[in-house]
Amino acid sequence: MSKVITPINYKSLLDLRQTELGIKLIKEFFQQNLSTELRLRRVTAPLFVLKGLGINDDLNGVERPVSFPIKDLGDARAEVVHSLAKWKRLTLAEYKIERGYGVYTDMNAIRADEELDNLHSLYVDQWDWEAVIAREDRTLAFLRNVVERIYAAIRRTEYLTCETYPQLQAFLPEKIHFIHAEELLRMYPNKTPKEREDAICEAYGAVFIIGIGGVLSNGEKHDGRAPDYDDWSSVAENGQKGLNGDILIWYPVLGRSIELSSMGIRVDKESLLRQLKLEGQESRQELYFHQQLLQDRLPLSIGGGIGQSRLCMVLLHKAHIGEIQASIWPDDMRQECRRLGMPLI
């Protein structure tokens, strides 16, 4: 059976009706706050894209996209998106979005290779967002400011949720702590990346880990990141590499850290070529998306994804993401979760 994290003395504080109303409340309120904070326009996004254009997100490079042939296109294959990391940048160019403004959308994906547990499902739903920036905005200070504004929107949503359902108690700290993955490695040299995340999140409550995707001093990556959207190799003003990262929180219900968002300043031409070379993927330069970037047809941007079901899960104090969204789960997992008081939708 896929691993189930067993919470201690877990009991849902909301019934099914309250849960569904809470999901609606959170999704409507948070996306409006995100849009206002970052000046984002809502756009409609695809569920699938054509294979071979370099538009789909490769995630860690090993996950297989769900694909199917299209009869009216001579059986050309389409792929269900893993995320919209690169599609959004094409959209910024198509809509001629100005600096300081951007887009957001509902991203729905199927990740067939996901290992199913309390936090991971075959079905992924995110708010994907992307905003146009200038060359001088490609700094760690700019990235930190955007992270703080997103975190402020999360905390406002937590406040509203707890006001609506007084049985829920707010737990997110006022401030989010910033740390580079290399510094985190020096603090906890004998721990795995996941153990380091747990330790730092338990200490600070909410953390943004900078520099996800690049090789650290121990010869390993903190976590994988595709080479053609986030810039994880440029040297920031503090001398460390990376203009991207993850927002994580300490989640007391499960006694562990949880990632809520992956985001970052996107690659420019120089960092794209450098990262493709580092990953041995120079051949991707010939794909449609990469050619658009290399020929200066795409704006500089910052963007990311924020998990919808995952945010609802933590703000409604649920122990399993299957209490928030309808998906497919192994029968033995359903039985075990029901026994533990967390019935899956």
Provide the residue-wise pLDDT of the chain in tens; the chain has 345 residues: 458 888 888 999 999 999 999 999 999 999 999 999 999 999 999 999 899 888 887 766 667 888 899 999 999 999 988 889 899 999 999 999 999 999 999 999 888 888 889 999 999 999 999 999 999 999 999 999 999 999 999 999 999 999 999 999 999 999 999 999 999 999 999 999 999 999 999 999 999 999 999 999 999 999 999 999 999 999 987 788 999 999 999 999 999 999 999 999 999 999 999 999 999 999 999 999 999 999 999 999 999 999 999 999 999 999 999 999 999 999 999 998 998 888 898
Catalytic residue among 262, 292, 301, 325: 262
Does residue 111 have an active-site annotation?
yes
* Residue found by looking up tokens 């990376």 in the block: 242
Q: Which of 111, 138, 196, 310 is catalytic?
A: 111
Tell me the C-alpha distance between 286 and 282, whole Å. Answer: 8
Residue 221, φ and ψ in degrees, nearest 5: -90, 150
How far apart CA 69 and CA 60 sit, in angstroms, is 24
Local structure of residue 221 (DSSP, 8 states) = B
Query: Which two structure tokens, joined as six digits, stand for 338?
Result: 């029901």
- Which position has the token pair 């937590």? 158
* 262 among known catalytic residues: yes
User: Does the annotation mark 57 as catalytic?
Assistant: yes
| Pairwise CA distance, residues 151 & 316, whole Å | 17
pLDDT at 274: 97
Between CA 252 and CA 333 the distance in angstroms is: 22
Tokens, residue 177: 């702590």
Catalytic residue among 259, 279, 285, 334: 259
Q: Kindly state the DSSP code that residue 84 receives in the 8-state scheme.
A: -
Active site residue 259: yes
126 flagged as catalytic: yes
The burial of 11, by beta-carbon neighbours within 10 Å (0-12 exposed, 13-18 middle, 19 or more buried), is given as exposed
What is the rounded CA–CA span in Å between residue 40 and residue 38? 6
d(CA 13, CA 116): 24
Check residue 91 and give its pLDDT.
Answer: 96
Give me the amino acid identity at 227.
P
Q: Which residue has the tokens 């996004």?
A: 45
Among 35, 57, 275, 327, which one carries the catalytic annotation? 57
pLDDT at 1: 47
Q: How many residues in the chain?
A: 345
The single residue of 246, 256, 268, 323 carrying the catalytic annotation is 246
Of the candidates 126, 261, 308, 309, the residue annotated as catalytic is: 126
Distance of CA 85 to the CA centre of its chain: 10
- Helix and strand counts by DSSP (H, E) for the chain: 9, 11
* pTM summary value: 0.94
Q: Which residues contact 72 (CB under 8 A, 6 or more apart)?
A: none
User: What pLDDT does residue 59 have?
Assistant: 65
